[in-house]
Structure 1
Amino acid sequence: MNDPCAPLDTRSAASDRFVALFSHAPVGIALLDADGGIVSANPALGTLLGIAPEALADTKFTSYVTSKPDAAALDALLGSYFGTDPAEPTRFETALEQTDDGDMRARLTLSSLPADQAGMSYPVVMVEDVTDLNLLHERLRHQNLHDPLTGLPNGTSFHGQLESAMVDTSRAVVALVLLDIDGFRVINDGLGSEAGDKILKGVATTLRQVFDGVDENVARLTGDGFGVLLKGDLTPQHVIKRVEHAFDRLAEPIYFGDTGVGISASAGIVLRAPGGASDRDMLRAAEVTLHRAKEAGRARWMLFETDLDTEDRRRYRLGAGVAGGLERGEFEVHYQPTVRLDGSRVVPVVNAMLYWNHPTEGRLDCDDFVPLADATGMTVRIGTWMLDQALKDYAEWRRHAGDRAPDLCVRPPRRLAIDDDLVKIVRSQLDKHDVPSTALRLCADGGTLVDARGEVHDSLSVLNEIGVKLVLAVSAAADLELIRRNDMPVDYVSLNGQIVDALLDAVESGSTQYEHLAHLVRSAQQLGVRIGAAGVRTEEQANALAGMGVVAARGRFFRGPLPAEDLAELINAN
C-alpha cells in the first residue's frame, strides 16, 4: 500500500514506521480486503481474540462477531471503506468471540488506508477491549438506579417505570401503591440503626415476595417508604387483596435476640388507565391518599377517591395559604364571655377564639386550619400572633375598665403549648402589652399534657408560679387523673361541649349518665379546682350544670363570640 510516486527511501522509511506502529500498537488492528477478509492482523488483536495473528489471516473479520445482526451491519459498513471515496471513520460497539474467555465487549473504529493502486483504499479496523469499562458503567448505572441497602430499585428508577407505564396503552390499568412503615423512627431510635436496617431489608424481601409478578415492580422511595407498580387487567378488589396480604406478611415478627418486632404499614392506592393521567398525577394522588390513611390512624390502606381528593386539595390549599393570610391581615380574634351561673350574669373571663376570614372560603374556625398549619410549620407563629392580638385587645379594655376587666383565657394551639419556648413567648407578650400575668388564663387539653419528657408540665408550672392561671379542658374522667397523677397546678377545669350535650340527653331521658356526669363534677371539686363548661346551648343545660356545682359557663345560650370593640362595650356596660 505504498505510494508508487514517492522516492524509494521515503517509501521505505514510511513503511518502516507503519510496520512499527502496526506491530506495537496497544489496540488490535486488522487490515482488510474488499470482501472483509483479514489481510494482516497485529499482535494486539491476536492477544485480544486469543488467536495467533498469522492464524487470523484469510479469515473474515465479521466471523468473530457473535451477534448475527451486528455482523450483517458491520459487513455493510465495511463496504463503504473500500474504493475511491472512503467514508469518514465510524465507531461501532459489539461483542467479539474469544477462544479462552468467552465473549469480549469491543469498540471498533472503522477507517481506511490507501492501497497500492493510486486512488484506492482498503478497510482497516481498530479494536479496543471495553469489557471492564462496560462492567464499570453497568455497575455505576445499577448503583444509580438501586437502593444500596435493600437492593430494590430506587426512586429515580421507579419514577421512570411509572412514567413509561402511564403512556403504554397496551396495559388496561396501572395501579400505584405507596407504603410507609408505621412508627419506624421509634423502632430505629429504640433498637438502633442496625435493627432499623434489618427491618428495612425484611420489608423489602416481603414486598418482593408478595409482588413477584412479571408486571409488578417494587422500589424503596424514601427512608421508610416503598412503592409498588402493577400493570394489567386490574380491579381495585384485586389490588386491595394483594396489599392486605402484604400487611399480613409484614406483621410477622422479626426477631432481635428475644425481642420480636412486628411491622405495620399504611398504604395509599391509586388505579388509573394509561394515557388518562400523567405519572405526576398518579404520584400526587397516591401521596395524598397515603397521608389520609395515616391521619385515619395508620396500619390501614386507603383507596383514592375523587370526592375526597377534591376536599384534600382544598384543605392543603388552605394549609399552604396560612402564611399569606397572616401577612395580609385575614386573621382575627373574637371573644366569648363566660357567665357565672349564680344568677348574677357576671362575666369573670372572656375566651379568645381565632378565626380566618378567607377570601374565598369565608370565615373559618381554628379547627378548620390549625391542623393544616401544623403540617406547614406555621402553628407556633399563628399561636404567637393570637396571643399578641388578644393581649393587645385586653390591654385596651383594661385601660378603660381597670380592675372591672374580666380575665383573658387563651387556648394556644397544641404545637405552641408544647413548644420549649412557651414560657419565653408568654412572658415577652405580657411585658410587651403591660398586662399583669394574673389576668391571663392558659387552657390546654389532656392530650397536650401527656408529655413523656415533662417539658409541658415544667413550662406550665413556671407560668403558674408567675401568676398565670391554668385551665384544663376536660372531655372524660381520665383527664382529671392527669391533675392528680402529675401534680399539675390547675386552677380551673372546663367541660367541653360534647359533655354538655350528653348532659342534656341524660336530663331528658333520665339516664344514669346524669349521675356519671355529676360524679365527674364532684371529682373536680375534690381536686380543689373551679368548674366551668363550654358549648351551652339551652337554658335547661345551664340550669342542670348549675345544679351540679358548675360555677360558670359559656356558649350560644349566653352570647356568641364578639369582636374586640363589641366586647369592650359589654365590659364598660357592666
Structure 2
Amino acid sequence: MAEVVRRWAVRLADTDGVGLSADALADVLQGVARDVLAKVDAGREAAIRRFSALYSAAPMGIALADPSGEIVEVNAALGTFLGQKPEDLRGRHIADLGFSRRDGERLRAGLEELEETDVEHYRERVRLAHADDAGTWADITLASLPGDRSGSAYPVLMVLDANEVHSLQETLRHQSVHDALTGLSNGSRFNTMLEAALSPSARDQIALVYLDIDGFKVINDGLGAGVGDQVLRGIARKLKDVFASPDTIVARLSGDGFAILLRGKLNPSDVITLVERALEELGEPIYLGDHGIGVSASAGIVVRDVTEGGPEDLQRAAEIALHRAKEAGKAQWMLFDPELDARDRARYRLGAEIAGALENGEFSLIYQPTVRLADHGRLAAVNAALRWHHPELGELDSAEFYPLADTTGMTIPLGKWLLARSLAAAARWRERYGEAAPEVCVRLPRRLAIEPDLVRLVKDQLDTYRLPAHALRLCTDSASLLDPRGEVLESLSVLSDLGAKLVLTVSGSADLELIPAHGLKVQHAVLTGPAVDAVADSEDEAAARHLDQLITRARELQLRIGAEGVVDARHAERLRAHGVLAARGPFVATSATDDEVDELIERHRGQR
C-alpha cells in the first residue's frame, strides 16, 4: 500500500498547480486510503455478520465446502435434518452424505457439472444418510460461491426436507398404477409391463393368463356388494400367493377379471400346473362371518416366445382361450391353440362378410320338396332355405353361416330376406298354378323366432305379396319355443290366429307335450332324428314301437304327421305304413331350385 501511495504522490506532485511536496502528498493519500479501507473493512464485517446470521438461522440445511468438495462448515438445520452434530459432518465430502451409492453418485455428478459447465446450480431429489442408518428424502441444490482468488469457487449444498412430498407423490403414484380394492396392479400398469416384457431386448418366454370368476354376479346379488368386495380381496391374496415369483405380475383388469403375466424360461406344463393350483385354491371357501364362500374360475392360457407377436396378439390369444374355457363349461382352463384359432379366424371372417354378401346379391333361395307319401309323390310343400354363393368358398348351406350370423347380428336381416323371397315365390306359383301351387314352409332361425316384431314382419310380407296367411307354414323347434329371450309362444299364437300354419319339429315325446302344455295351435309335426333314422334300413322292433308311440300321440293332438331325412323309397314306405303322411329328404331331392320346383309342380299338376 505504501509503495502505491508513494508512486501516486510523486505523479501528483509533478502536476501543474499542486503546491505540496511528494512527501506531503503521500501523507494525504495515505490518510484517504486508510479512511477508504476502514469503510471497506467495516462493510465487509457487516456483510459477514449478516451472512453468518442468515446461515445460522436458516431453516434450510446448508453445507459450505472447499473447492475439492470437502465440507468446512455446516449449519444447525442440516445437522438436525441428518440427526448429527454439525462438527461431525465437517471434513466429509459432500458426495459421502448420500444414503446409497446411487445417491452419492448423483451428488458427485452435480459437483462435476458445476465445475465443468456454466450452470449456476444443480437440483435433484436424493436420499441422504441419517444417523439412524435410514435414508431421508431431500430436495438438494448445489451452487458455487466465488472464492477469494480470481476464478476460484467454493461449492455450497442446500437441503430441503422432501419426505412428506415424496411420500405423497409415491402414494399418488401407487394409486395410479394399483387397483384400489385389491392392491394388485391395475390395467394401466399391467399393459405397460406387458409392453416392456415384449421389448426388442426381451428374451426367453412369456405367459399370459386371463382369469374370470364364474357367476360372480350371484355373490354380489345374493350377499351384497360389500361381501363381493371382500371376496375379491380374498381372491387377490390367493392369486398373489400362488403366482409369487419375482418375474410375475398379477393384476385386476375388471370387476371379476384378473390377469397374470409370467416371464422367464417357461413351458406350458409349468404354467398349467400353477393355473390348476390357483383354480383349486379359489375353490376353497373364504369365510366371511357365517358364510363360507368358494368360487370357481375359468382361465385362458398363452405361452410363447417373446419374439412371437406383440401385446395385442398375446392379449387376443388369451381372450380367445378364456372364451373357449367358458364355452366348454367354465371352472376350467384352456390353452390357446394356434391351429384352432386359424380356423376360427376364417369362420369369423366369413361372419363379417355376410352383410356385404347380402347387399351384393350372393344369397339365393333353395328348396327342399315335401311330398305326400300316399298320393304318388305329389308336391305338398317346399321348405325354403338360404344358400350363399361365396366367391371363394363356393356354395354354402345355411348351417355353415347362420351360427355366424347370430354372432354378428345378421340373423334378422337374413331372416327378413328369406321370408320376403319365399313369399314372393309363393305368390308367383299361386298366380301361375292356382290350387296346384305348394305351400311354402319357412324354418325360423332361432334369433328370428324370438324377434318381438316377428308378427309384424310376417304380416307385412303377406300383405306385400297379397297372400292368404294359410299359404305360409312357419316351422320352429322346442329350443326356440323355450328360449327365454323372446315371447315366441305369444307370437306364434297370433300368427296362427291370422291363419299361418305352424309346424313343430319333433325328436321325442317331450317335444310333442309342449303343444298341450302351452296351448299351441300347431297343425303339423315333422318327425326328425333317431325316431326316423332308426327305421331307415330295417324294421327294428323297439324303434318301430317308439315311432308308433310318437305318431299315436300326434294323432291324439290332431296333427298332420310328416318326416324329414328320408333316404330312399323303402324308408318312405316304412314310414307311410306307420302313419306318416308326407316326407322330405334324398328320396325326393336333396334340394331344388325355382325352376326344378316348377318342374315338380308341372309333373303332378292336375292330379289334385
TM-score for the superposition, normalised by structure 1: 0.85
Deviation at 1:554, TM superposition (A): 1.4
2:196 maps to 1:157: no
| In 2, Cα distance between equivalents of 1:513 and 1:479 | 17
| In 1, Cα distance between equivalents of 2:298 and 2:431 | 55
| In 2, Cα distance between equivalents of 1:214 and 1:438 | 72
Deviations 1:152-209 (A, max 9, x none): 2233333344444445888654333323333344554555544544443443333333
Give the equivalent residue in structure 2 for 1:63: 96
Amino acid at match of 2:65: L
| In 2, Cα distance between equivalents of 1:519 and 1:252 | 49
Deviations 1:341-392 (A, max 9, x none): 2234233322121222222222222222222222223322332332233233
The equivalent position to 2:566 in structure 1, one of 530, 533, 536, is 536
1:334–1:352 CA contact under 8 A, matched in 2: yes
2:536–2:566 CA contact under 8 A, matched in 1: no
Give the equivalent residue in structure 1 for 2:347: 315
Deviation at 1:337, TM superposition (A): 1.8
2:310 maps to 1:278: yes
Gaps of 5+ in 2: 1-35
Deviations 1:78-100 (A, max 9, x none): 144248x6445333221023457
Give the equivalent residue in structure 2 for 1:264: 296
Give the equivalent residue in structure 2 for 1:455: 487
Report the CA distance shift for 1:567/1:258 in structure 2 as closer, same or farther (over 3 A).
Answer: farther
Considering only aligned residues, what root-mean-square deviation do their CA atoms show, in Å? 3.7
The equivalent position to 1:552 in structure 2, one of 568, 579, 582, is 582
The equivalent position to 1:490 in structure 2, one of 494, 499, 522, is 522
2:407 maps to 1:375: yes
| In 1, Cα distance between equivalents of 2:214 and 2:558 | 41
Highest CA radius of gyration, 1 or 2? 2
2:550 maps to 1:517: no
Give the equivalent residue in structure 1 for 2:166: 134
Deviation at 1:512, TM superposition (A): 1.4
Give the equivalent residue in structure 2 for 1:236: 268
Report the CA distance shift for 1:18/1:443 in structure 2 as closer, same or farther (over 3 A).
Answer: farther
Deviations 1:196-226 (A, max 9, x none): 4444344333333333344444332333333
Give the equivalent residue in structure 2 for 1:32: 65
Which stretch of the first structure deviates more once superposed, 360-369 or 459-468? 459-468
Deviation at 1:560, TM superposition (A): 2.8
1:86–1:121 CA contact under 8 A, matched in 2: no
SS in 1 for 2:412: helix
| In 2, Cα distance between equivalents of 1:192 and 1:203 | 17
| In 2, Cα distance between equivalents of 1:16 and 1:429 | 104
State the aligned residue count. Answer: 567
Report the CA distance shift for 1:556/1:481 in structure 2 as closer, same or farther (over 3 A).
Answer: same
Deviation at 1:266, TM superposition (A): 2.8
Give the equivalent residue in structure 2 for 1:500: 532
| In 1, Cα distance between equivalents of 2:493 and 2:206 | 56
| In 1, Cα distance between equivalents of 2:298 and 2:201 | 30
Amino acid at match of 2:554: A
Amino acid at match of 1:36: G
Give the equivalent residue in structure 2 for 1:304: 336
| In 2, Cα distance between equivalents of 1:287 and 1:252 | 25
Give the equivalent residue in structure 2 for 1:74: 107
Give the equivalent residue in structure 1 for 2:556: 526
Report the CA distance shift for 1:355/1:238 in structure 2 as closer, same or farther (over 3 A).
Answer: same
Give the equivalent residue in structure 2 for 1:390: 422
Gaps of 5+ in 1: none
Report the CA distance shift for 1:82/1:299 in structure 2 as closer, same or farther (over 3 A).
Answer: closer
Deviation at 1:431, TM superposition (A): 3.4
Which stretch of the first structure deviates more once superposed, 419-428 or 24-33? 24-33
Amino acid at match of 1:285: A
Counterparts of residues 10-409 of structure 1 (less than 5 Å): 28-38=61-71, 45=78, 48-49=81-82, 60-82=93-115, 86-87=118-119, 89-98=121-130, 102-166=134-198, 172-185=204-217, 187-189=219-221, 191-253=223-285, 262-409=294-441
Deviation at 1:56, TM superposition (A): 5.9
Amino acid at match of 1:479: D
Amino acid at match of 2:242: V
Report the CA distance shift for 1:559/1:45 in structure 2 as closer, same or farther (over 3 A).
Answer: same
Deviation at 1:558, TM superposition (A): 0.9
The equivalent position to 1:441 in structure 2, one of 473, 477, 485, is 473
| In 2, Cα distance between equivalents of 1:246 and 1:18 | 67
| In 2, Cα distance between equivalents of 1:503 and 1:18 | 114
Which stretch of the first structure deviates more once superposed, 224-233 or 324-333? 224-233
1:82–1:122 CA contact under 8 A, matched in 2: no
Report the CA distance shift for 1:376/1:511 in structure 2 as closer, same or farther (over 3 A).
Answer: same
| In 1, Cα distance between equivalents of 2:401 and 2:373 | 33
Which stretch of the first structure deviates more once superposed, 536-545 or 416-425? 416-425
| In 1, Cα distance between equivalents of 2:448 and 2:345 | 26
Amino acid at match of 1:349: A
Amino acid at match of 1:389: R
Which stretch of the first structure deviates more once superposed, 416-425 or 334-343? 416-425
SS in 1 for 2:379: coil
| In 1, Cα distance between equivalents of 2:352 and 2:46 | 80
1:169–1:275 CA contact under 8 A, matched in 2: no
Deviations 1:3-55 (A, max 9, x none): x99x9699999989988987887755544331324456667656644567788
Report the CA distance shift for 1:158/1:81 in structure 2 as closer, same or farther (over 3 A).
Answer: closer
Deviations 1:401-424 (A, max 9, x none): 344432222223222222333333
Report the CA distance shift for 1:18/1:523 in structure 2 as closer, same or farther (over 3 A).
Answer: farther
Amino acid at match of 2:143: S
Report the CA distance shift for 1:315/1:544 in structure 2 as closer, same or farther (over 3 A).
Answer: same
Which stretch of the first structure deviates more once superposed, 539-548 or 378-387? 378-387
Deviation at 1:141, TM superposition (A): 3.0
Which stretch of the first structure deviates more once superposed, 13-22 or 47-56? 13-22
Deviation at 1:503, TM superposition (A): 3.2
1:288–1:312 CA contact under 8 A, matched in 2: no
Report the CA distance shift for 1:259/1:333 in structure 2 as closer, same or farther (over 3 A).
Answer: farther
Deviation at 1:261, TM superposition (A): 5.7
Deviation at 1:125, TM superposition (A): 3.4
Report the CA distance shift for 1:540/1:28 in structure 2 as closer, same or farther (over 3 A).
Answer: farther
| In 2, Cα distance between equivalents of 1:20 and 1:324 | 85
Amino acid at match of 2:430: R
| In 2, Cα distance between equivalents of 1:96 and 1:286 | 46
1:175–1:239 CA contact under 8 A, matched in 2: yes
